[in-house]
Structure 1
Amino acid sequence: MIALSFTEIAEAVGGRLLLGDGDAAPSDVVSGAVETDSREIGPGGVFVARHGETTDGHLFAPSAIERGAALLIVERPLELSVTQIVVDDATVALGLLAAEVVRRVRAAGVLRIVAVTGSNGKTTTKNLLREILSRRAETIAPRESFNNEVGAPLTMLKLTWETEFLVAEMGASGIGEIRRLVGMARPDVGIVLTVGLAHAGEFGGIESTLIAKTEMVADLLPDDTAVLNADDFRVAGMAESTAAKVLWFGRGPQADVRASDVSVDSTGTRFTLHAPGETPRDVHFSVLGEHHVTNALAAAAASLTLGVPLDTIVEALESVTRAERWRMEVLPGLDTVVINDAYNASPDSMAAALKTLAVLAPEAKRTVAVLGEMSELGDLSAEEHDSIGRLVVRLNIGQLIVVGEGAKRIHMAAELEGSWDGESEWYATADEAYDRLESSLRSGDLVLVKSSNSAGLRFLGDRLGELVACKHF
């Protein structure tokens, strides 16, 4: 975090300053990292003691002090020797502090902010933007999927006076959440990727999802740029809800930044990248899955808006070998390959991953789909899991392994479909599925592991990756 005094931080968060023992003074400066996890605290850091989903951060304040915390932001005074700022809501205070840091760094005249949201592809697009923009100047971007009311401000608080680009990933589970994040760091460039069924259960339906995602561009100014997906009719409609300039990306001819001649094989995706006023460039994008072309186009469009040359964009795209840990991550073995894509799953991303598996089928002796639950679908859950089971059959996947009670309808729907040469099996646990796969995998198999994070199949994917790395089948 940029250096701020105790008084400045207290004023920013609207809190009451309680000086610690010793020589502490209101003018003392703090410049260490801000964290909500006491295990991440380092010397001179700020520990924000918030109530999490399962525990109370105040219980870990002593541990934060042992690790060197210089300041605690708390919701009640603690009998500890370190300086504290008492606030009504630590999570709100975290956001207020982030907004103040962004305001000060932006006022220095260098910082540009690009934010991305969408039902699918946020983290991949964020990673691509970081790879592209960091080739030009100091860039701050979230780690993993730090995109909520806690993760987003923690990323913003890593700004320095030298930072020229801030990439903000903005997720939401309800209306108003993206608007709050935009209020902390109003983007110069706002990207909307897709509006789909991911988290539809939490939002209450696709129309509520659309309202929430529109918040990314609703408050942009005329000098800002909304980067919108021309291939998604819901996203395309957001052009009527923003005062910003619109730059379109997509696969169709109507897009400003588009891809043509797209082809997929086991080494990734090849396409020709078109941009206004530029000679088309051929791109070999190593990230597996044709659906990731959309993310590459979004990152390219935003980067062009921020003044990055197209050649730099292409070089950066071609340097990326995976979207993210557990996202279409290829784990090659001695004679069998595992694709671990079990960090997130929605009906759209599940279908895209299965279609990629089917496209790669000619390169494999057999395709195997290991599928778990798609979470947070609410009343749509049964219908969407049924749809995925039918899709497996239509794509003629060779073997279907379904794991967990929440995903059982995928197995049931597949078995009810006729004219399929493959077969489906259901297992209650990942361990049972692993035991079955250990004994049934064949030489040349191509295995996809796909589920929502909560299903835990990413660890099954890792175990299968370790297995195929050392065993001939």
Structure 2
Amino acid sequence: MIAFTLARLAAAVDGELRLAGEDTADTIVQGTVDTDSRLIEAGGIFVAKPGESTDGHRFVDAAVERGAVVAIVERPVAAAITQIVVADAVAALADLARVVVADVRAADDLRIVGITGSNGKTTTKNLLARILEAEGETVAPRASFNNEVGAPLTMLRVTPTTRYLVSEFGASAPGEIARLAGLVQPDIGVVLMVGMAHAAGFGGIESTFAAKSELVRALRPGGVAVLNADDPRVAAMAHIAAENGISVRWFGRGPGADVRADAVEVSASGTTATIVAGEESLPLHLRVLGEHHIMNALAAITAALALGVTLAACIERLATVEIAERWRMQPLGSERVRIINDAYNASPDSMSAALRTLAQITGPGQRMVAVLGAMSELGEYAGEEHDRIGELAVRLRIPRIVVVGNDARRMYISAIGQGSWSDEAVFFETADEAYEYLMSELRDGDRVLVKSSNSAGLRFLGDRLGESFS
């Protein structure tokens, strides 16, 4: 973070400064900011955020022991540390992020990219960060830091030497992207797709469209919207861009895209394609598994080109990315039994894409096994969407379908209804039961997809299987 006097820090978060020890209003702090006392470093600023299961105020002393010099709190605590008392710790985090980014932007050549979409945000963020970090100091979210806490924490890592800030904006309700993107007004906004993820919070696909379009509305005047030409709902955001003086760059598989992919081929070693941008075309080998990640790569390339990076540099750097992130199409196990752990998140679109990838990477003499858990936050659409996935697994001729958890049971029922007989489809209430079954069932040559939402916990089942067959 940039340097602040304690007085200015308090003003930035609209808080009451309560000094401790030898601190004065003019004392300068510039340590990292965190809401997790375990991650505090010497000179750091601890934000005591009340949570669902615990309260950050209980851990102020722990933060002091790790070297925190300031605590932002909602109520004073008995601890030997300067405190800034605010009405809302999460709001204070956002206010501080806004000030920090504005200061750096005013003084230096900081370029900001915001990324949103129902699927693919984290992968696209990682791909774009890999491209940009060779151009200059780049700050990007750790893991999926894309909510009201994670996004500001990422912004607060910006320093005067930062050249690029890549922000990931997630949301489960209308207005959330507008608030997060409004903190920094990105120069470039990437919208990947509009799908059924978080349908319960949004209330339907049209509400999801409105929520994702908030990023386009939040862009800096004269900014660039990077839009998916293959998604009709994303493409419809072009008129919002035009109304707000925002130019559009298109990515996609069709001939109308500014950046497109031709001759796409998928294998167990990754995906190859010819990337075409204007009059230039170059071959790409993306080692990240899944044809759907080509769209994420196209989005990252389009944003990078808008920032002045060459196509050749984009291609060269993307070829070095081996996995998108832990638990996202992560290859585990061995060539004998390959486990693909993709159980960090799941929506109908990402579940369908993962199943199709399983079919594409399974070669002759190998067997497909799909281990599937629930897709969360679908609300009234949950039943029909789980049905659709079970039916798709059968249509893809996946010979072994293992459904785990009562919330996913309809996948099993629909697979049976679609024609999966005998023991081709099986159901288990717990991951432990599924693990015992799989350890006795899996054989040489199997290619196993483990896919579910985070809340289903199958990522840990994927890890166990990976260790067992490594």
TM-score band (shorter)?
over 0.9
| Shift in alpha-carbon separation, 1:86–1:129, aligned structure 2, 3 A | same
For residues 309 and 423 of structure 2, the distance between their equivalents in structure 1, rounded to whole angstroms, comes to 48
Query: Shift of residue 255 of structure 1?
Result: 0.5
For residues 23 and 216 of structure 1, the distance between their equivalents in structure 2, rounded to whole angstroms, comes to 44
Residue identity in the other structure for 1:459: F
For residues 172 and 99 of structure 1, the distance between their equivalents in structure 2, rounded to whole angstroms, comes to 19
Whether the 8 Å contact between 2:186 and 2:220 is mirrored in structure 1 is no
Give the alignment of 1:409-420 within 5 angstroms. 409-418=410-419
Residue identity in the other structure for 1:8: R
Counterpart residue number, 1:245:
247
For residues 156 and 396 of structure 2, the distance between their equivalents in structure 1, rounded to whole angstroms, comes to 46
Whether the 8 Å contact between 1:18 and 1:85 is mirrored in structure 2 is yes
Counterpart residue number, 1:267:
269
For residues 335 and 321 of structure 2, the distance between their equivalents in structure 1, rounded to whole angstroms, comes to 24
For residues 222 and 60 of structure 1, the distance between their equivalents in structure 2, rounded to whole angstroms, comes to 42
Whether the 8 Å contact between 1:408 and 1:426 is mirrored in structure 2 is yes
Partner secondary structure for residue 168 of structure 1: strand
Residue identity in the other structure for 1:306: L
Query: Shift of residue 361 of structure 1?
Result: 2.9
Counterpart residue number, 2:290:
289
Q: Which digits, 9 at most, give the CA deviation of each residue in 1:205-238, with x for residues without a partner?
A: 1111111100000132442100000000000000
Counterpart residue number, 1:18:
18
| Shift in alpha-carbon separation, 1:293–1:422, aligned structure 2, 3 A | farther
Query: Shift of residue 334 of structure 1?
Result: 5.0
| Shift in alpha-carbon separation, 1:420–1:305, aligned structure 2, 3 A | farther
For residues 310 and 96 of structure 1, the distance between their equivalents in structure 2, rounded to whole angstroms, comes to 37
Whether the 8 Å contact between 2:186 and 2:218 is mirrored in structure 1 is no
Counterpart residue number, 1:431:
432
Partner secondary structure for residue 236 of structure 2: helix
Query: Shift of residue 362 of structure 1?
Result: 2.8
Q: Tell me the matched-pair count.
A: 467
Whether the 8 Å contact between 2:138 and 2:162 is mirrored in structure 1 is yes
Counterpart residue number, 2:27:
28
| Shift in alpha-carbon separation, 1:222–1:80, aligned structure 2, 3 A | closer
Q: Does 1:40 align with 2:20?
A: no
Whether the 8 Å contact between 1:364 and 1:446 is mirrored in structure 2 is no
Q: Which digits, 9 at most, give the CA deviation of each residue in 1:384-435, with x for residues without a partner?
A: 0010010011000010000000001100110111276971000010010000
Q: Which digits, 9 at most, give the CA deviation of each residue in 1:186-205, with x for residues without a partner?
A: 10000000000011111111
Deviates more, 1:230-239 or 1:360-369: 360-369
Tell me which of 257, 260, 263 is aligned to 2:259: 257
Query: Shift of residue 360 of structure 1?
Result: 2.2
Residue identity in the other structure for 2:104: V
Query: Shift of residue 344 of structure 1?
Result: 0.4
Q: Which digits, 9 at most, give the CA deviation of each residue in 1:327-374, with x for residues without a partner?
A: 011114151111110000000000000011112233452100000000
Whether the 8 Å contact between 2:185 and 2:220 is mirrored in structure 1 is no
Residue identity in the other structure for 1:360: I
Whether the 8 Å contact between 1:396 and 1:420 is mirrored in structure 2 is no
Give the alignment of 1:64-463 within 5 angstroms. 64-242=63-241, 243-277=245-279, 279-333=280-334, 335-418=336-419, 423-463=424-464
Residue identity in the other structure for 1:26: A
For residues 248 and 291 of structure 1, the distance between their equivalents in structure 2, rounded to whole angstroms, comes to 17
For residues 80 and 437 of structure 2, the distance between their equivalents in structure 1, rounded to whole angstroms, comes to 56
For residues 134 and 422 of structure 2, the distance between their equivalents in structure 1, rounded to whole angstroms, comes to 49
Q: Which digits, 9 at most, give the CA deviation of each residue in 1:298-340, with x for residues without a partner?
A: 0000000001111110011111011110101111415111111
Residue identity in the other structure for 2:102: R
For residues 37 and 80 of structure 2, the distance between their equivalents in structure 1, rounded to whole angstroms, comes to 16
Q: Which digits, 9 at most, give the CA deviation of each residue in 1:268-321, with x for residues without a partner?
A: 0000001124x2001111011000000000000000000111111001111101
For residues 421 and 104 of structure 2, the distance between their equivalents in structure 1, rounded to whole angstroms, comes to 60
For residues 165 and 301 of structure 1, the distance between their equivalents in structure 2, rounded to whole angstroms, comes to 15
Unaligned runs of 5+ in 2: none
Whether the 8 Å contact between 1:140 and 1:165 is mirrored in structure 2 is yes
For residues 240 and 232 of structure 2, the distance between their equivalents in structure 1, rounded to whole angstroms, comes to 14
Query: Shift of residue 144 of structure 1?
Result: 0.3
Identity of aligned residues (%): 58
Counterpart residue number, 2:2:
2
Partner secondary structure for residue 462 of structure 1: helix
Residue identity in the other structure for 1:254: G
For residues 164 and 365 of structure 1, the distance between their equivalents in structure 2, rounded to whole angstroms, comes to 47
Residue identity in the other structure for 1:313: C
Residue identity in the other structure for 1:47: F
For residues 48 and 247 of structure 1, the distance between their equivalents in structure 2, rounded to whole angstroms, comes to 39
For residues 265 and 95 of structure 1, the distance between their equivalents in structure 2, rounded to whole angstroms, comes to 43
For residues 109 and 154 of structure 1, the distance between their equivalents in structure 2, rounded to whole angstroms, comes to 20
Query: Deviation above 4 Å: which 4+ runs of structure 1?
Result: 419-422
Whether the 8 Å contact between 2:337 and 2:445 is mirrored in structure 1 is yes
Whether the 8 Å contact between 2:268 and 2:362 is mirrored in structure 1 is no
Residue identity in the other structure for 2:80: S
Query: Shift of residue 468 of structure 1?
Result: 1.2
Give the TM-score normalised by the residue count of structure 2. 0.98
Alpha-carbon RMSD: 1.1
For residues 131 and 260 of structure 2, the distance between their equivalents in structure 1, rounded to whole angstroms, comes to 17
For residues 287 and 135 of structure 1, the distance between their equivalents in structure 2, rounded to whole angstroms, comes to 20
Partner secondary structure for residue 362 of structure 1: coil
For residues 149 and 327 of structure 1, the distance between their equivalents in structure 2, rounded to whole angstroms, comes to 22
Residue identity in the other structure for 2:318: L
Residue identity in the other structure for 1:184: L
For residues 364 and 94 of structure 1, the distance between their equivalents in structure 2, rounded to whole angstroms, comes to 54
For residues 303 and 182 of structure 2, the distance between their equivalents in structure 1, rounded to whole angstroms, comes to 20
Query: Shift of residue 81 of structure 1?
Result: 2.0
| Shift in alpha-carbon separation, 1:182–1:420, aligned structure 2, 3 A | same
